Amino acid sequence: MLQRTAVRDLLAAESPRTALDVRGWVRTRRDAKEFSFIELNDGSCLKSLQCVVAADCVGFDAIKSATTGASVQIEGELVPSAGKGQRWELKASRLQIIGACPDDFPLQKKRHSDEYLRTIAHLRSRTNKFGAMARIRSRLAWKIHDFFQARGFHYIHTPIITGSDCEGAGDMFRVTTLPLDRVPVRDGKVDFDEDFFGKEAHLTVSGQLAVETYCLGLGKVYTFGPTFRAENSNTSRHMAEFWMIEPEIAFAELADDMQLAEDMVKALLDFLCTDCVDDLEVFTHFVDPTLRDRLDAVRQANFARVSYTDAIAILQGAGEPFEYAPVWGADLQSEHERYLTEKHFNGPVFVHDWPKDIKAFYMRLNDDGRTVAAMDLLIPKVGELVGGSQREERLDALRQRISGMGLNLDDYWWYLETRKFGTAPHAGFGLGFERFLMFATGVANIRDVIPFPRTPKHLEF
């Protein structure tokens, strides 16, 4: 039996080959007098293989059914191409239509708007742009594991369903099997004793607290998985479901954390620019002509570091007509982030040591008593890419922070025990995979860097 060969391998062939079986989807068909030309794409790479089907090819009578979008099997041999723009073509000896494609296939046209393609997310992998995005996502996901594994980090599978609604990163989606039309009630409250887990459960907003427990045992760990936030922010940078990479390092401080984030971003960009050349070219060509220059600039940059206090002073002295005036103690608005990274520093910048009142309880309190050892990495076009901190490892200080924020100490008994039993300084961060992909490809809307975006009032299957 013939083995199916990937188009990608054929386009890279060194010499002609025979007895081939290629299968994929017809991108276009052009009929000349004595031949038909099929551009066949099998998803293995961006480029399609030109297949020449002549009248003596077995199955030629079905050629009219080889319409755009149809799936076909073509057997034949790889020969040097007489045509321009490609080295090889497939001379077909046998053609078989596997799945016909009627002419109401929505991707007949060459170009469609991103907005339209979002309404057919189940078909958009058949376009050059979304095929390229999917391959880049896949390669980068692999590289993320490679980056950490090569440095001795262990991959920890943190839970998706969590019983601690205390990660403090935003609104959570509830997980329940209680019947919504007759919710059990006791003493005027929902009786979660009756629920699947016998207590309230949610989808995780971050694997951090769980991964911290493994950090204080395995030293260098990371988690990389989906996270969920039920915040109703309909922006081009937020989704209800996104993927996050969260490393955590023991015996480390904030400076080590920032260095790790910088090394990781650069390693991923280096890999992207050498491994994903063809796919990246789609984005340089159709999305952002300056993309390669921007990526190269970041690969070569020394990421700036500025304290939150200094950043506020820079913003206050900028003479910019900000919609929100920058004031010490308030979070940075995206207009502030963009000013810092795109104008003032003109490159990636870590903003560190934030006011404690606007940051989570687990961040380490600085000696000044009013800031915590937190950092955000801001990058041009995207704004915040990374959020992280040195963690509060001192048991008493952590207890005070939890209580001081009006949280219930009992809910954190297991987290506190990691500080009681052999605590150690440690730090970590979260990098939003989709934010990274936006930067890496220049794509401006986060809905177009993930196969199936989940946003308020939008859920395709």
The burial class, CB within 10 Å (0-12 / 13-18 / 19+), for 374 is: buried
Residues 6+ apart with CB under 8 A from 186: 193
Task: Between 195 and 212, name the residue whose CB sits nearer to ligand 4AD.
Answer: 212
Taking the complex as a whole, the smallest distance from the CB of residue 436 to ligand 4AD amounts, in Å, to 8
Instruction: Tell me the one-letter amino acid at 241.
Output: E
Task: Between 128 and 206, name the residue whose CB sits nearer to ligand 4AD.
Answer: 206
Task: Between 90 and 169, name the residue whose CB sits nearer to ligand 4AD.
Answer: 169
* Alpha helices (H) in 348-412, listed in sequence order: 395-404
Task: Between 70 and 261, name the residue whose CB sits nearer to ligand 4AD.
Answer: 261
Taking the complex as a whole, the smallest distance from the CB of residue 113 to ligand 4AD amounts, in Å, to 22
The burial class, CB within 10 Å (0-12 / 13-18 / 19+), for 199 is: exposed
**In whole angstroms, what is the distance from residue 84 CA to residue 82 CA?**
7
Task: Between 128 and 341, name the residue whose CB sits nearer to ligand 4AD.
Answer: 341
Taking the complex as a whole, the smallest distance from the CB of residue 414 to ligand 4AD amounts, in Å, to 17
- CA-nearest of 384, 392, 328, 338 to 360 is 392
- CA-nearest of 8, 10, 35 to 20 is 10
Quick check: 30 and 49 in contact, CB under 8 A?
A: no
Q: Which residues contribute to the site for ligand 4AD (CB under 6 A)?
A: 169, 206, 208, 229, 238-239, 242, 244, 246, 384-388, 428-430, 432, 434-435
Exposure on the CB side of residue 268, measured as CA atoms within 13 A: 23
Question: 3-state secondary structure string, 63-81?
Answer: HHHCCCCCEEEEEEEEEEC
Task: Between 46 and 431, name the residue whose CB sits nearer to ligand 4AD.
Answer: 431
Taking the complex as a whole, the smallest distance from the CB of residue 175 to ligand 4AD amounts, in Å, to 18
